[in-house]
Amino acid sequence: MKVYSFPRGGITINDPAVPQNSSSVVAFLPAISVIPMVQHPGGRAYPIVSVGDLVREGMLIGRGQGSLSANVHASVPGRVIRMVSWKAAGGQNNDALIIRMEGSFEKLGKREEFFPWLGMSAFDLHRTIAEFGIVEMEGSGRPVADMLTSLRNQQGTISLVVRCIFDDPWLAADRLLCRERTQAIAEGAHIMCRAGRMGRIVFALSQGETELGSRLMEEASRWEIPISLVYTGSRYPQRNQRELELVLRSFGKKENVELGSLLMLGPATLAAIHDAVAYRKPILDRYVAVGGSAVRKPQVMKVRIGTRIGEIFAECGGFVDKPRKIASGSPVLGRAVVDLDEPVIKTSYAVFALLEAHAQPRRNCISCGECRTVCPVGLDPEELYKNARAAGRNASRKPGISGSDSCHGCGCCDVVCPSRLALSQAILGMA
């Protein structure tokens, strides 16, 4: 088995506080749900229900407005009791509808009705994906409908890359999803290819995932579309678009496979595409890895969108001691959580609480060179960081440090820095 990996830099991440990915548990249904109107990089969805209204499970409650905005749906049936607003750790404003659960469920516990989609046109598939508010669930939350729109005028071959690469142990939820919903992921890939008129599916898997590769190939072989299976290294950030494209281009050249342009999507997004088209179902829940050194019982949970993060930690036995850091995502690039009442959203693949955050104070750079060793782009983070700091002190100097635009913010330099400097943040701030 040939394994393709990016040529330089990167790190191996090991974290004992990550939950096991052998099984998942279904989280309790939330009595109170917080449904944000922004779960995507664009402008807020416009609420189309008011305080006091009754809503159904899966009902449209917020309509996306313009580019990079997506529809928002109620994850539980109930009554809208208020609208709240808050400011996230990064300074972004958000608002949400608060739904008190009541009434009957239309999808939970009911037999799902399959909608035959093979006869649907690319336009109808595109419209359905947009209608049910499907977004990229492993990244920024970019609407999939916007991705399809960008493909319309693209010439030449386009390949869909199914990104089942687990270079970060905090992708435990995605890994478990792949095992439990292999068929939905493969069929979602086929739907996406039909909707975007793409000519090939490439399953990119971490080395060692041979069983998953065989199952995906078996499921996808039912469709009349060329399929490739590529095993990659598991060194972080292999999953990043730049590093993954490097190894796929190498694969295409060595195997004489014309890949053309690449569109990369993760397993959670493809499963959601499948559910939207085959079952007319918006994103009502998602797999979330819950853990960290402060959590008593880390586990992978299937959580309803809008469930408050504090309730998830409570279901994991609560905290062993007061956490010093709570965040969403991976500890490498996590987003700080300001309040435990913040909800799980479409892009929440992990939440964690740490006891030992910032145990060591930040110090001055000691010029050890560790950051240069791990940079996958071949930059000198030390020099870029010092230039960025100098530019920040010199108000007359214009932003834009030479080389900083090549940094894609993987955070490898931050992880290895013994002085605990926020290198990538400073570099990207001057890009």
- Give tens-digit pLDDT for 305-337: 999 999 999 999 999 999 999 999 988 888 888
Per-residue pLDDT, averaged over 71-86, amounts to 95
Burial class (CB in 10 A: 0-12, 13-18, 19+), 406: middle
List C-alpha distances in Å: 246 to 49, 88, 290, 373. Answer: 46, 35, 32, 19
Which pLDDT tens digit goes with each residue over 174-193? 999 999 999 999 999 999 99
Angstrom distance (rounded) from CA 324 to CA 8: 34
Of 117-126, 191-200, 267-276, 392-401, which gets the smallest average pLDDT? 392-401
- Name every residue whose Cβ is closer than 8 Å to that of residue 346 and which is 6 or more positions away in sequence: 39, 40, 133, 135, 137, 141, 283, 286, 305
What's the confidence (pLDDT) of residue 99? 98
Question: Average per-residue pLDDT in the chain?
Answer: 91
Residue 87 has pLDDT above 80, yes or no: no
Q: In this predicted structure, what is the pLDDT of residue 363?
A: 76
Between 223 and 79, where is the model more confident?
A: 79
- H/E stretch holding 60 reads strand 60-63
Query: Residue 394 pLDDT > 60, yes or no?
Result: no
C-alpha closest to that of 179 among 316, 23, 73: 23
Average pLDDT over residues 360-371: 81
Q: Give mean pLDDT, residues 187-215.
A: 96
> What digits encode the pLDDT tens for the residues 110-159?
788 899 999 999 999 999 999 999 999 988 899 999 999 999 888 889 99
Residue-level pLDDT at 401: 57
Look at residue 289 in the predicted model and tell me its pLDDT. 97
Q: pLDDT tens across 92-109, in order? A: 788 999 999 999 888 887
In whole angstroms, give the CA distance from residue 126 to residue 120. 10
pLDDT at 387: 87
Which structure tokens are listed for 388? 């960025």
**Residue 246: what pLDDT?**
95
**What is the three-class DSSP state of 252?**
helix
Distance CA 101, CA 80 (A): 9
How far apart are alpha carbons 351 and 309 in whole angstroms? 8
Helix (H, G, I), strand (E, B) or coil at 401: coil
Residue 22: pLDDT band by 50, 70, 90 thresholds? confident
Res 236: pLDDT: 96
- Is-contact 64 42, C-beta < 8 A? yes
How many residues are given for the chain? Answer: 431
Evaluate whether 417 touches 383 at the Cβ level (below 8 Å): no
- % pLDDT > 90, the chain: 77
Residue pair 267/273 in contact (Cβ under 8 Å)? The answer is no
- At residue 51, the pLDDT reads 97
Q: Is residue 79 predicted with pLDDT exceeding 50?
A: yes
Q: Work out the average pLDDT over 231-242.
A: 95
Q: What is the pLDDT of residue 121?
A: 95
> Tell me, what's the pLDDT at 393?
56
pLDDT over threshold 60, residue 21 = yes
Nearest CA among 121, 119, 120, 76 for reference residue 98: 76
Judge whether residue 63 has pLDDT over 50: yes
Q: How sure is the predictor about 430, in pLDDT bands with cuts at 50, 70 and 90?
A: low
pLDDT value for 357: 60
What is the reported pLDDT for 109? Answer: 76
Helical (H) or strand (E) element with 417: none
Domains (range + CATH), the chain? 3-15+112-279 (3.40.50.11540), 370-429 (no CATH)
